[in-house]
Amino acid sequence: MEKAKIVVVGAGPAGIAVAVEAKAAGIEPVVVLERSDKPCETIHKFYHPGKRVDAVYRKVKVEPIGICRFDTCSKEEFLELMEQYIKDYQLDIRYNQEVHKIEKTNDCFRIHAGKDTVIEAPVVVVAIGIFGRPNRPRYVLPKEVRDRIFLGTQAEIPEHFKKVLVVGGGDSAAETACYLADKGAQVFLSYRRPKFFRINETNLAELEKRVQEGKITLMMETDIEGVEPAPEGVKANFKDGRQMVFDAIFYCLGGSTPENFLRAAGVEVEGKRPKVDEYYETNVPGLFLAGDLVFEKGSIMAAFNSAHKVVEGIKMRYLERLERGC
């Protein structure tokens, strides 16, 4: 059976940064298992082309403490930066390897991925993020309109959607609305509250500009009760009695912790959040978490920093254990 010192699950910003920090600390071999065919699947899939990647996200400034860092740039530039880290540190990332089981055997972990990959390691870091499970609205989304409903922004948006509804009140809702408006769609943005309070100033200014230009219509204090198929579209039934038909609806409601995955690995989850200590080690000795999984309000810089802390913790607690191997 293949053996490694550390197995990292997920090659997003957090997973890549863990591998970078571990390599820089002289720990080898470190194997990263990624379920998609490329690094940073969340960014590829949910960031629209040309999206500005904010170093200060959701108004929270995070000072970098580790090796990985970035300045505000475009999606494409950010992905290039990550490719550069992978090249510079010669990271061993295995693609198309979705991890489906993490077993503890005596003093080691056995990580099962893809069809028949099994790797043993004394330490495992789970960095799978929260966007494998984008949040859904509470009501049922009928299957007849599935091709008109999007959970989260999508990088690829069909050109023929001319009248669209975006639901949400955060940065990704604002960015999605602006992106769709710039592609020529007539955009409606529905938000439950009377005012936006989570959107950063740049996105708010961009949003307001398009509202002034008549490209985006704000629907503040509106809430949807349900959606249903309509001829040539999807009908949104609002709680105030209004009914409107759209070509497509984009829900930008964030993501949530993959509780089942964590629980199956033995990790204690309190409420919706996994229990971790100051180095993001869980109640399972040797099993660490990094990135969005450990934050209430995650961001790329926070993910990078969590990776630095995790590797500090590994060095402090498990160096001897790593030397012995499995």
Ligand X SMILES: Cc1cc2nc3c(=O)[nH]c(=O)nc-3n(C[C@H](O)[C@H](O)[C@H](O)COP(=O)(O)OP(=O)(O)OC[C@H]3O[C@@H](n4cnc5c(N)ncnc54)[C@H](O)[C@@H]3O)c2cc1C
Amino acid, res. 101: K
By beta-carbon proximity to ligand X, the closer residue of 244 and 276 is 276
**Binding segment (CB under 6 A) for ligand X, from list 32-40, 84-92, 203-211, 267-275:** 32-40
Residue 57 binds ligand X, judged by CB under 6 A? yes
Site membership for ligand X, residue 298 (CB under 6 A): yes
Q: Alpha-carbon distance 92 to 222, whole Å? A: 48
- Residue 174 phi, psi dihedral angles, 5° rounding: -65, -45
Q: Judge whether 196 and 169 are in contact, CB under 8 Å.
A: yes
Site size toward ligand X (CB under 6 A) is 37
Q: Which of 267, 292, 308, 322 binds ligand X (CB under 6 A)?
A: 292
Q: How far is residue 228 CA from its own chain's centroid?
A: 29
Antiparallel, parallel or unpaired: β 73-74 and 52-53: antiparallel
CA atoms within 13 A on the CB side of 275: 10
Cβ at position 112, least distance to ligand X in Å = 10
Residue 145 neighbours by CB under 8 Å, 6+ apart: 227, 228, 229, 234
Distance, in Å, from the CA atom of 79 to the CA atom of 125, rounded to the nearest integer, reads 22
Kindly state whether residue 98 participates in binding ligand X, applying the rule CB under 6 A: yes
Which member of 4, 14, 27, 79 binds ligand X (CB under 6 A)? 14
Q: Does 47 bind ligand X (CB under 6 A)?
A: yes
Of the pair 122, 291, the CB lying nearest ligand X is at: 291
Residue 128 or 164 having the CB closest to ligand X: 128
Q: Name the phi and psi angles at 277, rounded to 5.
A: -95, -165
* Residue whose CB is less far from ligand X, 173 or 244: 173
| Encoded tokens for 124 | 């495992």
**Cβ proximity to ligand X, 264 vs 319, nearer residue:** 264
Is residue 89 close enough to count as binding ligand X by CB under 6 A?
A: no
Residue in 7, 22, 30, 54 binding ligand X, rule: CB under 6 A: 54
7, 11, 125, 326: which one contacts ligand X (CB under 6 A)?
A: 11
Report the SS3 class of residue 180. helix
Confirm or reject binding of residue 34 to ligand X (CB under 6 A): yes
Closer CB to ligand X, 34 or 281, in the complex? 34
CA 13/CA 265 separation, integer angstroms = 22
Does residue 170 bind ligand X (CB under 6 A)? no
Q: How far apart are CA 154 and CA 79, in angstroms?
A: 16
- Residues of this chain that interact with ligand X (CB under 6 A) are 9-15, 33-36, 40-43, 46-47, 53-54, 57, 98-99, 127-129, 131-132, 152-153, 172, 291-292, 298-301, 303
